[in-house]
């Protein structure tokens, strides 16, 4: 939330208008819930805000939770993106 607020405050609407903001979570908390994160973010002037975070423990693959903060207030889309351990294969599963 701080990263989004800082970017918004950097220049306000003039700075954010028409831009896409991608926030990478680095909380080290394991599994996270994109809906909960998206609901806590402040309103912004960016065209789109995407949140990406490692989802669960890394075993033989990397799984990232990806959500777009829907600025209209409807439920945000949530996807899990899986990468093979060598990043040689990937797939996307939409959860919501």
Kind and range of the H or E run holding 23: strand 20-24
The residues that bridge with 82 in the sheet, in sequence order, are 63, 91
CA distance 73 to 40: 12
pLDDT (tens digit, 9 = 90+) per residue, 40-72? 777 788 888 888 888 777 788 888 888 887 656
pTM greater than the 0.85 cutoff: no
Cα-based distances in Å from 48 to 64, 82, 83: 19, 23, 24
How confident is the model at residue 59, as a pLDDT? 80
Q: Which sequence spans correspond to the domains of the chain?
A: 2-94
How confident is the model at residue 25, as a pLDDT? 79
CA distance 94 to 81: 9
Q: Indicate if the pLDDT at residue 29 is higher than 60.
A: no
pLDDT (tens digit, 9 = 90+) per residue, 71-82? 566 677 788 899
Q: Indicate if the pLDDT at residue 18 is higher than 60.
A: yes
Q: How confident is the model at residue 34 (pLDDT cuts 50, 70, 90)?
A: low
CA distance 33 to 75: 13
């Amino acid at each position: 939330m701080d990263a989004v607020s800082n970017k918004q405050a950097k220049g306000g609407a003039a700075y954010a208008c028409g831009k896409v903001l991608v926030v990478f979570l680095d909380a080290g908390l394991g599994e996270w819930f994109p809906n909960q994160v998206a609901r806590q973010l402040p309103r912004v002037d960016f065209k789109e805000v995407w949140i990406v975070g490692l989802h669960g423990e890394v075993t033989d693959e990397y799984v990232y939770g990806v959500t777009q903060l829907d600025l209209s207030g409807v439920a945000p889309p949530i996807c899990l993106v899986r990468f093979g351990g060598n990043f040689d294969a990937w797939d996307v599963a939409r959860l919501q």
